[in-house]
Structure 1
Amino acid sequence: MEDGPVKFRSFMEPLLQVAVNLEASADAAFRTDVVKYAFTGLMRDLRGIAMATNSRRTYGLLFDWLYPSRMPLLLRAISLLTDEPEVTTPLLKFMSEFVLNKAQRLTFDSSSPNGILLFREISKLIVAYGSRILLLPNGTNIYRSKYKGIWISLTVLSRALCGNYVNFGVFELYGDRALADALDISLKMTLSIPLSDILTFKKLSKAYYGYMEVLFNNHITINSVLNLDTSTFVHIVTSLESGLKGLDTGISTQCASAIDSLAAFYFNNITAGDNPPSPAALNLARHIGELPSLFPQILKSLFEIIIFEDAGNQWSLSRPILSLIMISEQDV
């Protein structure tokens, strides 16, 4: 991968021929085994190449090869074959690797729109997959048919949201719904899964709570979780409390971080806010007004864990306590 663009294009020539042949295939042909095998092989090869791109330069070679000419093929495949996990799983796993900003490889020039353009493509894929997977009936193996694709989708979105290569304020400023649509469909996918199943499947749990941490830490003011109805909002926060009580220290740390962000947002914008509250803050105040015991219950659970259990991440678990105490002191 350290060779120049000419050698890279020569190396990618066989994959280019496969992609061109797939693009020339009719929609009906995508259901045939020949096309499905060719596409899944292409996705696995591209994932391996993406894993090998550990620098800005080598990643740029792959990005330029893929965008914009090859992206419609990915969107077409995930739209036509949503019910074929043997196809969608390699595709989503490739995207999960492709959007991962390891070693700061996704660093574009200050004048480059590539970060925004990449996220728009991610949004299209997630929305296309999520809007269709939610309509499919539950199969005999629901993890394989639905949950696996959903948790990989959440991983893709989480990595894109915290990759630090997209200025997300641009989307709202210019009326682009790429971010809002991606958050909306991802929340719908998470809410379609019973909490008991989230806690049962380990990979699903890690993806779900990782996504919630990113959502609460970085995008709490976006048209997303705070705009839900109160019962749904309480369900999500209750799932965070359940994660706190779990045995996985990584998940409990993520839950504590998400709760800390939520409590701090409440304190800064409602309890101690001087300016008129934002719509997001008003929604949060409405939720807490309908269930005032929500924050005190979480605070109680945190104290019980720290005092009575031998948690290996006590410092992380203690972080939300100050925020929760400060927003509860008015009730003391």
Structure 2
Amino acid sequence: MKEVCRSAINWAMHDLQLKQGDKLVLLWLINVTDTGLHGQRYSEPSKQRLDRAILVFFQNFRRSYVGDQAVHSSKHLYDRLTKLLGIPDHRLLLNVIMGKIVTNHKFYTQSEEVIGHTLNLFLELATGYMTGKLLLKLDTMKFVIANHTGEHFPFLEEYRCSRSRTTFYCIIGWLIFMEDSPVKFKSLVEPLLQAFTNLESTPDSLFCTDAVKCALIGLMRDLRGIAMATNSRRMYGLFFDWLSPRHFPLLLRGITHWTDTAEVTTPLLKFMAEFVLNKAQRLAFDLSSPNGILLFREVSKLIVAYGSRILSLPNAADIYSLKYKGIWISLTILARALAGGYVNFGVFELYGDRALSDALDIALKMALSIPLADILAYRKLTRAFFAFLEVLFSSHINFILNLDKQTFVHIISSLEAGLKGLDSSVSSQWTTWLPFISTTSRWGTAASNLVRHIAECPNLLLEILKTLSELLLFEDCGHQWSLSRPILSLILINEQTFPDLKAQILASQPADQHQWLSLCFDKLMKNVNRSLDSRNRDKFTQNLVVFRNEFRAK
């Protein structure tokens, strides 16, 4: 037995090849490790290492021997499994694997590593189309779907494993949604409904207790898992109708009472960030439905409640955990809601509803409360900050142009700083806003604000043009096209000062190359007129690519 265990661990950790006979022994070993005295050793590290080795074995074994093609290519193996273990096909083998998954979930409550590893295997099985369909036919899986509570899976009640609840409910939700069954959806959310009822009936005097804290964290993680699994319009509609409007007040209550506790606010905000994400066009409400507007109003309430309170809290040593993390999640929520395409934002201004303006105001205050150096230092914060600005510039440009001079200059300066030293997936996000700057005629009265800002800070956009030009000419950037698109807009805005930029670039090069480089600059605008139509921009981009190649080849 010791030799078999050692062989299993070595294979799992070092990816060694097991002979077919060893594979059969390992399948037999599973029956031994969870019975008798071995079944009482779940808290021991040696038992945990062995079970993780078995999980890795299952992950690799499944890829080769479970599925339509695998069955045809492994007939000899299943003949041996039938004779030795009574496993004639991959369906019964899958039942053995599920049995091990359920056993781990039942008895491991102190090991985050084993629970996490088990859930990874479970997720691989559930998200595979063939294996997912097979799982739904197994009695073991039917038991899990009918009994997904802490009573049967104690790790759900263990605080240290609370992060795993999201993955667990995502898997259960994914499998249930495969069948598109409202009845099974109702059984899925039944335990969550009881949790909502208990929390909603808790008086304010008891709402800040540890028991409520743990229950609220667990509920938010469960809800996020289900939201992650909801990939169709029909199933999202069921989830939305179940949650809204009855249960949204609990989210607002939770964010209000627990603002200074990131352990609570983070899972709550992350759930909302997932809930408003319009992936696979799942948030496609009927034309006569007010649900999109109602959802955004709830988003606005949540962000305003959180932002107004988090900004008033004093800074702490771990400022990222206390403030920055919640802020970047809040910015993500609003950016996703603004870009989701399921809200007619003109309704808010038409009817004097401040949901949009209040959300934008508090979100911008949160974003500007963070020093730019800190924004650029934390990758997730960086992405959320510039994704939020991208949405503002592309869909709510009037809001930006109506800002005071100081705020406007700060935002533009932030964009310039963000262009330097960041990867293409980030920097290309905010180069899309610059073409909008040149089409001022479509903004009405806000256009005069832009003219005033540029007049008061004439070098502001010129500095961005200089930065973009230097990136294209002197750096080995892999996103030339996305950077080249806004340059024409900036040249048109800075026509009078563009010669100064040309002179600065020429001055930085050897004197014997000035004449040749000057000719390159002249060809840059060849056959390019003063417009931003797609044909003219494409011509400018072609000229710019030729200019860059000639400049770097000299």
Cross-structure match for 1:47: 224
CA distance in 1, matches of 2:421, 2:414: 11
Task: Give the drift of 1:110.
Answer: 1.0
Cross-structure match for 1:268: 439
How do 1:1-332 and structure 2 match up within 5 A?
1=177, 2-221=179-398, 224-261=399-436, 263=437, 267-269=438-440, 273=441, 278-331=444-497
CA distance in 2, matches of 1:145, 1:285: 39
C-alpha contact 1:295 1:324 (8 A) present in aligned 2: yes
CA distance in 1, matches of 2:180, 2:454: 57
C-alpha contact 2:285 2:291 (8 A) present in aligned 1: yes
CA distance in 2, matches of 1:81, 1:151: 17
Deviations 1:166-219 (A, max 9, x none): 111111111111111110000000010000000001110000011111111111
Deviations 1:103-131 (A, max 9, x none): 00000111111111111110110111001
Task: Give the drift of 1:31.
Answer: 1.3
C-alpha contact 1:240 1:259 (8 A) present in aligned 2: no
Deviations 1:58-92 (A, max 9, x none): 10111011100000000111011111110000000
Flag as ranges the 4+ runs of structure 1 deviating above 6 A.
none
Structure 1: 5+ residue stretches without partners: none
C-alpha contact 1:83 1:133 (8 A) present in aligned 2: yes
Task: Give the drift of 1:254.
Answer: 1.2
CA distance in 2, matches of 1:31, 1:147: 23
Deviations 1:223-249 (A, max 9, x none): x33222212211110110111112221
In the superposition, the TM-score normalised over structure 1's length comes to 0.94
Deviations 1:30-60 (A, max 9, x none): 2111001000100000000000101000101
Task: Give the drift of 1:268.
Answer: 2.3
C-alpha contact 1:147 1:204 (8 A) present in aligned 2: yes
C-alpha contact 2:328 2:381 (8 A) present in aligned 1: yes
Task: Give the drift of 1:330.
Answer: 4.6
| C-alpha RMSD of matched pairs (Å) | 1.3
CA distance in 2, matches of 1:322, 1:79: 47
C-alpha contact 2:434 2:489 (8 A) present in aligned 1: no
What is the number of residues matched between the two proteins? 321
Q: Secondary structure at the match of 1:6?
A: helix
CA distance in 2, matches of 1:312, 1:331: 28
C-alpha contact 2:434 2:486 (8 A) present in aligned 1: yes
CA distance in 2, matches of 1:27, 1:8: 31
Aligned-partner residue type, residue 177 of structure 1? R
CA distance in 2, matches of 1:183, 1:8: 35
Structure 2: 5+ residue stretches without partners: 1-176, 499-554
Q: Secondary structure at the match of 2:343?
A: coil
In the superposition, the TM-score normalised over structure 2's length comes to 0.57
C-alpha contact 1:241 1:255 (8 A) present in aligned 2: no
Q: Which has the higher contact order (CA 8 A, sep 6+)?
A: 1
CA distance in 1, matches of 2:435, 2:416: 12
Larger Rg: 2
Aligned-partner residue type, residue 222 of structure 2? D
* Seq. identity, %: 67
